[in-house]
Amino acid sequence: MKKGSTMRWAFAGAAIIAAAALAAWAQRSVGGGPKVWDVAVIAAHPHDPAAFTQGLVVHDGRLYEGTGQYGASTVRRVDLETGRVEQQRRLASNFFGEGITILGDRLYQLTWQNQVGIVYDVETFDVIETFTYRGEGWGLTHDGELLIMSDGSATLKFLDPNGFAVVREIAVRDGGQPVTRLNELEYIDGEIWANVWYEDRIARISPADGAVVGWIEAGNLYPQSRRGRDDVLNGIAYDAQARRLFLTGKNWPQLFEVELVRR
C-alpha cells in the first residue's frame, strides 16, 4: 500500500492491482487519447534501498529527497552519482514524511495525515516555520510562484508560499475521466508531471485546466519480480539547467537517468 503497513486501507493486494488496472484502462480509453512516451535509460545511479521515496528534487545541481514511514521519515541531500547521504534531518516519529519541493532558499515538505507542512533552510535543514492544510499531503512541487500540492485525489491545489492559502484548484482529467491517486509531483517546462500511485506511469498535466496532455510509461525501469508490494514508482526529479530527468521508486536500489521516446 502507498503508505506502508500503517495504511488504513485494508483491501488485498490483488484487489488493488485489479482496481488500478481497471482505472488505467478507463483512463487510456478516452477519445483519441493524449500522446504517450516510453523511457530509455541513460544511466543508473545507486539509490538507498531503505529510502521510502516520497519526494525528489534537483536544485542547483544537487539531489534532495524526502522519505516516509513513521519513525523513519527524513529530508536529505544525496550525492547523485554515488547515492551517499550527505546531509539529513529526521522527522519526529509521529510524522510521516511526504512530498518535497524547493522554492528560493526554502525546502518545503508535506506530511501524510498530520496536516502539517515543514519549511526548512535549504542549506542547513534548520526548520524555519510550519504550516497547516486540510486533508492529506502527498506530492509537492511549484511553478516558480505557487506551491502545487496533491492529496491522493484528482485535485491539485495551488498554495501561496506566503501564508499557504489555497489560491486555486484544478481537477485532473484524461478526456472526461478523472485521474485519481496523483502522488509525487514535478513541474517541468510548463507542465505538472505526476506519478499515479500503484502504476508505472506518469501523467503530464496542463496547469491551466488539469487536462492530461500526455502519459509516460515507465514499466521497464525496475522489474515487478524484484519489488515488494509497496515498492512503486514514485520519484521525479528534473535538473532544468542540465536538462536531465531522473526517476526512482520507493525502496528501489537505483536512481535512473532517462530520456523520453515518443511512441
Over residues 222-246, the pLDDT tens digits come to: 988 898 888 999 999 999 999 999 9
Q: Which letter, b or e, does each residue of 75-96 get, where b requires 16 or more Cβ atoms within 10 Å of its Cβ? A: bbbbebeebeeeeebebeeebb
**pLDDT of the residue at 167:** 96
Average of per-residue pLDDT values in the chain: 89
User: Which sequence spans correspond to the domains of the chain?
Assistant: 4-262
The fold for domain 4-262 equals Neuraminidase (2.120.10)
pLDDT single digits (tens) 125-177:
999 999 999 999 999 999 999 999 999 999 999 999 999 999 999 999 998 89
**Nearest CA-CA partner of 156 in 19, 190, 147, 237:** 147
**Phi then psi for 54, rounded to 5 degrees?**
-120, -25
